[in-house]
Amino acid sequence: MQITGHLTFFNINSCGIYRYAGKDPISCLPKELFALIRSWRTTVDFENSLPWSPKKNKPQCRLREIYKSSTNGDYILTLWKSDSDSTGQSVGVVEGEGTVITRSDKHLGKTVIWGKPCYYWVIPEYNLIASIKFEHSRTDSELFQDWIASVINNRIEIPGSTKKTTNNGYTQFVRTDDAKEGDSAIIKTTFRFDMSMKSIKTNDARLQELSQNTTHIIRKERIELTEIDDRPEILKLLGRIPQAFTKTPNEQNKLQRKVEIKIEAQPTPEEIKNIIESCSLEITPDDREFTNVGFITKRGGIKWADEFRMTESIFMDDLGHKILPSDVLYAKLALEREKYLNPIIAEMAREALLNPDATQDGDEGSGEAQSA
């Protein structure tokens, strides 16, 4: 069956182990990081790739598969986000077998981890990551960052470092400087991994101009309402009787309304950037007609938020797979790798001209992703 996926690109702002006040990573940059994860995955089964306690009050996330391209060092990570969805849309992985099933398949007596795949394309060469959203999958950039930080802090050893847990519950990586002696030779570091959606910069002339010309902000979305039932109680009761014999809820009283909200505003470039990045995560090309945020200009035109983010689409055959094998997905991406990456590379060159002193691994926008 032909399926469509939507790619959203992210910058890797921080990646590696850093001195506590350091700006530059000492070790474990993207190329090494994902090589370590790939090597570690060969030592554990799918069930044990959850890098935190299952008792934690947070979604469970495991590494279903990781694939590396021998041509250019790209990776595909397929994370598995647990899902308690009872609508029958989830798929499951049978523990101990790795078989992928649906809720309609026979699984009595088997332990099944229900969920949805999350696909990520990692491009260490350009410090980029792309999430890939299909109808059957999910994306969650915060969960992805949390999983990466947690698997390093809780599961994987970094060569040349000794892992310790501080009194506050944070993970510390201790290294030794061979050129020094005693306490001065001890280097205490922490792991950081942070990424942000790749979109237009605040000092870009296009954003500056939009800020100067915006008069209003408009948000449109599709909301679901429940129709008020003002029938006599006896008729309501009669109406509920057929529902008792069906497995699916009656959706006839659900209404969908398209709502537009317009407010007068003159946002700064920074505020526009924040709106673009936060709202773009909610918008897919398939849904942009009904869900979007726009900036109305003095001339009456509208600039929509999703026009400023770095996105692409992928069209492929799922070959009958319930979830896409990583090598199958990458084979399709590789065919058009230049088409996807050339606009990003051009934008990166443009940013370098605007910010000649900026560094990829600076502290701007980064935070220490820790897992106790």
d(CA 185, CA 182): 6
Residue 222 lies in a domain: yes
The pLDDT score that the predictor gives to residue 174 is: 94
Q: Are residues 86 and 224 in the same domain?
A: no
Residue 77: inside a domain, yes or no? Answer: yes
Same domain flag for 42 and 28: yes
Residues 327 and 241 in one domain: no
* 155 plus 212 within the same structural domain: no
Say if 211 falls within a structural domain. Answer: yes
pLDDT at site 107:
66
Given this model, what pLDDT does residue 339 score? Answer: 93
pLDDT, position 106: 65
227: number of Cβ within 10 Å:
9
pLDDT at site 241? 41
| Upper half-sphere CA count for residue 283 (Cβ side, 13 Å) | 25
Q: Domain for residue 367, yes or no?
A: no
Cα 131 to Cα 10: distance, rounded to the nearest angstrom: 8
For the chain, helix (H) and strand (E) counts, in that order, are 7, 15
Range of the domain at 82: 2-198+310-354
In a domain, 38, yes or no: yes
CA-CA-CA-CA torsion sign (94, 99, 102, 107)? negative
Q: Are residues 304 and 170 in the same domain?
A: no
Q: 66 in a domain, yes or no? A: yes
Q: Model pTM greater than 0.85?
A: no
One domain for residues 157 and 226 = no
Q: Number of folded domains in the chain? A: 2
Residue 94's closest CA among 77, 78, 83, 106?
106
User: What stretch of H or E contains 206?
Assistant: helix 205-213
- 76 and 193 share one domain: yes
Helix (H, G, I), strand (E, B) or coil at 247: coil
Q: Is 24 left (phi over 0), alpha (psi -120 to 50) or beta?
A: beta
Q: Are residues 347 and 295 in the same domain?
A: no
Same domain for 240 and 219, yes or no, is yes
Low pLDDT (below 50) residues in the chain: 86, 234-253, 359-372
